[in-house]
Structure formats: C-alpha cells, structure tokens
C-alpha cells in the first residue's frame, strides 16, 4: 500500500509543528480520494467519482519543512514524546521566499509526489502603518502571499496531472475583516483568500481541493516572531496614534492570553482532510462569525467599520469624553448601541439574532452565539 505523502511548511513551531506530529504519530489515518497509485485505474484516472464516500486507509509520511533546520529541535522532541513511528516524519529545509529552496526540497521527496500540501508558513506585522520599515512589509508579503504562490506553482501541476490532491492553507480572521494596526498582515491574508477562493472554483475539475483553515488567536510563538517586533518603529507615529496603539495592544495581548490551543486547530485540518467534498473554509472558532456576516450584509462596509471601531476604541473614548472624537465613523444613529455584545456583534439585525439585549448585562451566562428562542 502506497503512503499518503504530506508536506507542511513552517514546522519549527506552532500549528505546523503540532500538525506534523499529529499526523506522523497516527500510523493509519483515513482520507477520502487522496493518496497513491493504488487509488487509480488504468492510465492514472481516478477510480470512482468525485466525492467518493469510501474511506481509504493509508500510511502517512510527513515531510515537515522549515526555513532553518537548526530550529528542528522542538519538532523532533515533540515527535519523540508523541511516539511517532520510525520513518513517519522527515525534516527538510525549505524557505518559501526562495524558489531554489522550494525546488531543492521538492527534489528531496523521494516518492516523487505530494498528496497533501499544507501551506502554513507565515509572518506577522503589528503596529501603526507608518512605523513599519518597507523591508518588513516586503518580508510579510513575500512569505504570506508570494511564498504560498511559490509552493502552489511547485506542487499543483503534479496534483492536477495525477487528478488527486489536497491543499490546505493556514488562514486567519484577519483575511476576512480588517483589524486596526494589522493593516499589512490583513492585506496579505486578504490576498490569500482571493487566491484560494479563485483556485477552489477551478481545481475540482482536476480532482484537487483547496481549503482555508480560518484561525483566530492561537497559542504559538507568532507574536514573539513579529517582523520588527510589536509596534515597529513606534516613534515614527504621531503621539495620538502611539496612544491608541498602546491602548489596543493591551486588549490584543489579553486576547492572546485567551487563545486556542494549537491541538484544537490541528483537529480542524484533519476534518478538512477527511471530508469527501471539503469546504473552502473551516473556522477554528465561531467567535468572529457575526462580524464576518456583518461585512456581507452591508457591502458599503460602514456597519463593520462602526462595529470594529466601537469594539477597539469605545472604552478609551468613553474615558476621554466626546471632545476626543468618541463618535464612531459612519455612525448615523445609536440603534446598535442598544445592544451589549461580545466581540463580533454590532449591527441591530445580527445582534438581535446572536446577542442579548442591553437589559441583560454580560456575565449572566448568556453566550453571544445562543440563538433566541
């Protein structure tokens, strides 16, 4: 029985590390419609129709890649602790910023194919836009966007030729909605959404499926590895912007302290892999879905901008008073302020479906996503 060959980028830490170990430690997974030549008829044509419901057990070999193999210690330690069988995990050096490095790693895959490609490598940038060096901006776009394109250009042609394969991309809620002080990061993740959504229309004709794993905050070293550090060259920003960033950073760090465990996100990757007809998007948390819906319901963008402005800065404005410019942009009336919501709820219609009225204060065991009876 041929193995299912999985290649994952960005495995030195975080989601990539956990996913590589999770897959390698389980000797036999069941994936539908992906894998080696035993799934094909004559001429390499797939045996069975698209979306075939039969499970195909297959041994897995994971190629865990990273920019510098000197950083592979935590991965190997986690693999030993998890009891990964010998031969189930290989490490490769691969820098998604370098086409030659991608080609060299591809040449090291001795099986000659990759059945599952996981584009996980990513970089972050956090702070006022004017505080970022252009080199840092370029690095984030190169890794997050161009690096993903390099990987797809390298591995998609063979998947299409074999009429078999899965592509999973680590995405972010920052690719579905703009977030203050994450402008460049969100730009890179918005680009990934467009890239993968466009491919998702075409690739099923070749027996290949692409899925985005939409993550909220996750407990990883991502924050510590931000390009230029948190805030960048903050002194370049005006005093007001610096103050707003410092305020926002505190709430952002609080959100990080309540982030998901990478193992939770890892299970979502497996859900996408096991699906006979995988969806384009899988969400690791439903916390941000009301905001995503809000963006779709008001194409002008005004409702979302108002909602996020309130969420990010309303308490600061309340402290400073109306003279500091407390009104939210695009705020034409106070209707939505009649509802007190958890992060992600703002418009009257969305909030009325998913939140509690103002008379029910937070802390009374009324979850934001509880449907009204």
Catalytic residues: 185
In angstroms, rounded to a whole number, what is the distance separating the alpha carbons of residues 20 and 9? 10
**CB count, 10 Å around CB of 51?**
13
- Give residue for tokens 């330690």: 77
**CB count, 10 Å around CB of 62?**
27
CA separation, residue 102 to residues 21, 211, 316 (Å): 22, 21, 47
Q: Within a 13 Å sphere around the CA of 37, how many CA atoms are in the beta-carbon half?
A: 6
- Give residue for tokens 């203050």: 180
Listed residue (323, 288, 273, 313) closest to 35, CA to CA: 273
**CB count, 10 Å around CB of 172?**
29
**CB count, 10 Å around CB of 108?**
12
User: Residues 229-257, buried b or exposed e (16+ Cβ, 10 A)?
Assistant: ebbbebeebeeebbebbeebbeebeeeee
In angstroms, rounded to a whole number, what is the distance separating the alpha carbons of residues 223 and 125? 9
């Amino acid at each position: 029985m041929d193995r299912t060959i999985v290649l994952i980028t960005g495995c030195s830490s975080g989601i990539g590390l956990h996913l590589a170990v999770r897959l390698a430690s389980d000797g036999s997974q069941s994936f539908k419609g992906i894998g080696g030549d035993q799934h094909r008829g004559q001429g390499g044509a797939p045996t069975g129709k698209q979306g075939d419901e039969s499970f195909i057990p297959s041994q897995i070999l994971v190629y865990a890649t990273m920019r510098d193999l000197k950083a592979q210690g935590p991965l190997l330690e986690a693999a030993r602790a998890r009891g990964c069988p010998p031969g189930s995990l290989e490490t490769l050096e691969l820098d998604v910023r370098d086409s030659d490095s991608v080609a060299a790693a591809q040449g090291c895959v001795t099986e000659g194919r990759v059945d599952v490609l996981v584009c996980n490598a990513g970089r972050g940038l956090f702070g006022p836009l004017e505080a970022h060096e252009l080199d840092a901006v370029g690095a984030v776009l190169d890794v997050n966007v161009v690096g993903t394109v390099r990987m797809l250009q390298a591995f998609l042609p063979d998947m299409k030729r074999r009429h078999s394969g899965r592509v999973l991309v680590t995405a972010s809620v920052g690719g579905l909605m703009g977030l203050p002080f994450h402008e460049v990061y969100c730009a890179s993740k918005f680009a990934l959404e467009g890239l993968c959504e466009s491919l998702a229309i075409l690739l099923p004709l070749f027996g290949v499926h692409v899925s985005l794993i939409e993550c909220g905050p996750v407990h990883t070293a991502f924050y510590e590895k931000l390009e230029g550090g948190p805030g960048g060259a903050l002194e370049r920003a005006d005093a007001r912007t610096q103050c707003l960033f410092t305020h926002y950073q505190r709430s952002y760090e609080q959100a990080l302290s309540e982030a998901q465990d990478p193992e939770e996100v890892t299970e979502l990757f497996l859900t996408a892999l096991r699906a006979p007809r995988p969806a384009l998007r899988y969400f690791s948390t439903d916390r941000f879905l009301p905001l995503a819906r809000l963006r779709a319901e008001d194409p002008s963008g005004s409702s979302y901008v108002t909602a996020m402005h309130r969420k990010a800065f309303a308490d600061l404005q309340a402290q400073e008073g109306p003279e500091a410019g407390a009104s939210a942009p695009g705020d034409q009336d106070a209707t939505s302020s009649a509802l007190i919501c958890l992060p992600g709820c703002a418009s009257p219609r969305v909030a009325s479906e998913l939140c509690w009225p103002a008379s029910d204060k937070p802390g009374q065991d009324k979850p934001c996503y509880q449907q009204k009876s």
